[in-house]
Amino acid sequence: MTIAGALRRGEEAFRAAGCDTPRLDACVLLAAQIQRDKAFLFAHGEDVLPPERVAGYEDMVSQRLSGRPVSYILAWKEFYGLKFFVDDRVLVPRPDTEVLVDTALEILKEEPGIRRIHDVCTGTGCIPIAIACSFPGGGLEISASDISAPALEVFRVNCGNILGRVPVHARRDLLCGLAGPFDMITANPPYIKSADCRRMRDSGWPEPELALDGGEDGIVIIRRLVAQAETSLAEGGLLLLEASPEQADSILRMLEDRGWGGYRAVRDLAGRARVIVGRRP
């Protein structure tokens, strides 16, 4: 089988199964299987693949058709220009979350006094690791926590692979039992409504429900986090959290009602309110 033939077969299978990106999925999986980039595939379409590569690619295609995300099949996901190890113990990092990292870095440039940063619900560790790698000059004390012990195992792998060290981390329910105060708290907490999570689970959604389920209205955990942040942040400290665009107004009203200052929503590339920023009351 040629490279072009393998791509065509994979794309047709994904399209028939209703995959959103059939051509892209076929390209990414085949490129990974033969350890080449996508440009190579198009330049060498008539090259014949060794039988073992065809078999490996067909196994990848079968996994994808079963609903397994491409990132889980490859065991990595690019985020903020960095390569993160992922598996079914953690949520796959999304491009939308890069808006949170951008916002944190902008604030760090504007407020040089910020030093202690803690990331809640850290999962892969993509947020604190990206901040640590992108902030010029270092000098930050970055820590992280997650309620999931398996997720923290993935966090440690990524810290070792990318940072070459493992910062302070702990298994915690949000901020409970953590020694603050912190100058900044970042979080991509679960914010999907429980009913939607149940439908996703019943349809075979592979990501951990613990990282998705935000309670009946989707912001139960966010409410708890905001309340806890009021005692875990230093005076004037900042909370940055990702949420659904549909939740932004409710969260901003919550911050206003609780006396937070400087609250605002930061929009993603599609113009949707994606990251909520507030300053401790």
User: What tens digit of pLDDT does each residue of 205-214 get?
Assistant: 999 999 999 9
Q: For a pLDDT cut of 70, what percent of the chain falls above it?
A: 99
136-181: pLDDT as tens digits: 667 899 999 999 999 999 999 999 999 999 999 999 999 999 988 9
Identify whether residues 115 and 237 lie together within a single domain.
yes
From CA 103, how far away is CA 181, in angstroms rounded?
21
Q: Which single residue is written with the structure tokens 């791509």?
A: 7
Pairing of strands 169-171, 261-267: unpaired
- DSSP bridge partners of 233: 182
Identify whether residues 142 and 238 lie together within a single domain.
yes
Residue 133's H or E segment, with its range, is helix 126-134
- Give the CATH number of the domain where residue 195 resides: 3.40.50.150
What average pLDDT is seen over the chain? Answer: 95
Helix, strand, coil percentages for the chain (3-state, nearest 5)? 45, 20, 35
Residue 196 to residues 202, 212, 213, 221, Cα–Cα distance (Å)? 10, 10, 8, 16
Count of other CB atoms within 10 angstroms of residue 50: 10
Reading the block at residue 94, the tokens are 């999304």
pTM: 0.93
Please compute, for residue 112, the number of CA atoms within 13 A of its CA located in the half-sphere on the CB side.
Answer: 2
Walk across the sheet containing 261-267 and list its strands.
169-171, 141-146, 116-120, 182-187, 233-242, 273-279, 261-267
pLDDT at 72: 96
**Number of domains observed in the structure of the chain:** 2
Under the banding of pLDDT at 50, 70 and 90, the label for residue 198 is very high
pLDDT at 281: 87
pLDDT at 20: 87
pLDDT, average across residues 15-36: 94
Identify whether residues 30 and 54 lie together within a single domain.
yes
190 close to 121: Cβ distance less than 8 angstroms: yes
Identify whether residues 119 and 231 lie together within a single domain.
yes
Identify whether residues 54 and 99 lie together within a single domain.
no
Domain boundary among 54, 72, 90: 72
Identify whether residues 119 and 154 lie together within a single domain.
yes
Helix (H, G, I), strand (E, B) or coil at 36: coil
Domain boundary among 24, 56, 72: 72
- DSSP bridge partners of 146: 171
pLDDT at 209: 95
Identify whether residues 15 and 123 lie together within a single domain.
no
Identify whether residues 162 and 97 lie together within a single domain.
yes
- DSSP bridge partners of 276: 241, 265
pLDDT, average across residues 127-131: 97
Choose the weakest-confidence range: 137-141, 190-194, 261-265.
137-141
Domain range spanning residue 169? 77-279
Identify whether residues 143 and 62 lie together within a single domain.
no
pLDDT at 64: 95
Identify whether residues 91 and 13 lie together within a single domain.
no
From CA 149, how far away is CA 155, in angstroms rounded?
10
Identify whether residues 140 and 261 lie together within a single domain.
yes
pLDDT at 180: 83
From CA 60, how far away is CA 270, in angstroms rounded?
31
pLDDT at 139: 85
From CA 77, how far away is CA 138, in angstroms rounded?
25
Residue 278's H or E segment, with its range, is strand 273-279
93-106: pLDDT as tens digits: 999 999 999 999 99
pLDDT at 147: 97
